[in-house]
Structure 1
Amino acid sequence: MSKQGQRVILSLRQMIVNGDLAAGERLREESLAERLGVSRTPIRVALKLLAQEGLLQTVGARGYAVREISSEEIRNAVDVRGVLEGMAARLLAEAGMTETVRETLKKCLDQGDQLFSRGTIDEEDVVSFHDLNMTFHNTIIDNCGNSAVKNAIMLNDHIPFASVSSIAIDSSAMDREYLRLTFANVQHHLVFDALINRQGTRAEALMREHANAALRYADIFGVGGGDNAAIKMLRNGQLSD
C-alpha cells in the first residue's frame, strides 16, 4: 500500500477514535475525500480495510457506517492477541531464531531507533513505524513453528483494535504520540533480548504486556474524547486491569 493510503487509514481510524466520525454515522467517500484532500480511491480502500478490522459495518450494497463497539469486545480481543503473540514469542525463543529471523528483527530495532533519535516525529514517521512494527510482529508469528497460532491471530484481527496494524495517531498531540511509540520501540528491544537469550517464559510475558500496552498505558500517554463509549474508555485508560 502507498504511503498516502497508509496516511488515509491512520487519519480515518483516528477520526473514529476521536469521535469525529460517530458510531452509527454513514460514511460517504466523496465527503471524506474532500475532507482529507485525496481522491476517492484511497478512501475506498481504507473503508474496506477498516471494515475488516471491525471498525465499520456495511450498509446497503456498498456503503459503510461506524460500528458501536463495546468495551468488553475490545478488552477480550486484545487479551486474546496477547496470549497468542506471547505463545508465538515463547515458541520462537525455545526453538531458537535463524540468522535470517534475527537479522530481520534487528533491522526493525535499528529502524525504530533511528526514527526516534531526533526526539520528535511527524505523520510520515508514524507510517514508517507502522510498517516496521508489522514486520517485527509478523516475523515472530510467521516463524514460531505453529501455523494454528497465526490462523487464530488472523481471525482475532477482525475485532476492533485487536490487530497490531490498528495504529491511530493524534496529529494534534505529536509529543504524546512520540512517547507512546518510543515506549513500544523499547518493548521491541526487550522482546528481542529475551528471544536472543532463548528465555521463553520471559519472551511470552513481555509480548503479552506489549500487546496490552494500548489499554494499560492509555492514561499515561493522554486521553481523548469520542461518542463511541468503548473508544472513550480505551482512550481514558478505563479498560486497563
Structure 2
Amino acid sequence: MVEPDRASSQTVKAQLALRDLILSGGLKPGDRVSELSLVDRLGMSRTPIRMALVRLEDEGFLEAIPSGGFAIKAFTERDVYDAIDLRGMVEGFAARIAAERGVPGGLIRDMKNVLRQIDDIAALPDLSVDHFSEYVDLNGRFHALLAEAADSPVVRRQIERVSNLPFASPSGFVMVQAKLPEARHILTIAQDHHHCVVRAIEDREGMRAEALMREHARLAQRNLQLALGNQGTRNLVPGVVLIRRGAVV
C-alpha cells in the first residue's frame, strides 16, 4: 500500500508533468488522453495519473468524454481574459479585507522588502531574460504575501484555485513580456501598482486596494494581447497552441 504522503507527492508530480506536456504542445486541443495512454508516456503508475487527470479537469485543461477518458481543451482569448479578470477579483477582495482588518507590521515589511528588490531590477539600465526570471520569483512572492495578508484560509484557497486556471497565474506572461519592446514600461506600471496597493493596505483604504489589484490583473491581459499580436513573441506564450485567436468583445 502506498503511503499517503508519497501518494500525494506522486499525484503532484504526475499533475505537473501532464500540465507541462499540454502547455508545451505535446498534447494538442482535441487529443484524447486516458490513464493507460499516459502510463508509458509519463513513466508513472495509473493511480497518480488518474488523480492528476481529475485535477487538471478541475483546473480547466481537460474535459471528460462520456465514453471514457478526457480530451484536451482549447480556449478562446475571451476565456483567458475572463480567467485573468477572475484572479484580479479574488486578489482584489484579498487586498480589501487585508486593508479593512489590518495587517501585522512584519508582513508589511516583508512586502516592502520584496518591492525594494523589484525596484533594484527595474532601475537597471538593461533588462535581460535573467532579470525577468528573477522578477517572476519576486512577483510570485509578493502575490503570496498578499494572500497571506488577507488572513483568511478560505480566500487563500480561492486565490490558489483561480491562479491554477489556464493562463491566470500572476506571472503567467512575464517571461514573454521580457521580449516585448514595451517591457520596461509594463514593469514600471506593475511595480507602481504593487507600491500603491501596499500603501492602500497600510492606510486602511479597502476599496482603493481592491480596485488597484483588479487593475493590476489587467496588465496580464495587455501582455497577452501584445504577445499574440507579435509574430516574434507569440510562440513564447506558454500553451499558445491551446488558444484560438478571435475577437474579444
User: What's the TM-score, normalizing by structure 2?
Assistant: 0.64
What's 2:130 paired with?
Answer: 124
Change (3 A) 1:170 1:99: same
AA paired with 1:90? R
The aligned counterpart of 2:120 is 114
Q: Are 2:162 and 1:188 equivalent residues in the alignment?
A: no
Secondary structure of the 1:107 match is: helix
Give the equivalent residue in structure 1 for 2:159.
153
- Hey, what's the Cα distance between the residues in 2 that align with 1:135 and 1:56? 25
Identical pairs, percent: 28
Q: Which residue is equivalent to 2:212? A: 206
Q: Which amino acid aligns with 1:83?
A: M
Give 5+ residue unaligned stretches, structure 2: 1-19, 33-51, 64-70
Cα deviation for residue 180 of structure 1 reads 2.3
Amino acid at match of 1:151: R
Please report the RMSD computed on the Cα atoms of aligned residues, expressed in angstroms.
Answer: 4.3
Q: Does 1:91 align with 2:91?
A: no
Deviations 1:18-53 (A, max 9, x none): x99975689xxxxxxxxxxxxxxxxxxxxx9xx799
**Structure 1 position 145, deviation (Å):** 2.2
The residue correspondences of 1:1-241 to structure 2 (distance < 5 A) are 23=29, 67-170=73-176, 173-216=179-222, 223-224=229-230, 225=234, 228=241, 230=243, 232=245, 239=248
Please report how far the alpha carbon of residue 223 of structure 1 lies from its aligned counterpart in structure 2 after TM superposition. 2.7
- TM-score normalised by structure 1 residue count: 0.66
Partners of 1:215 and 1:174 in 2: CA distance: 14
Equivalent pairs, count:
207
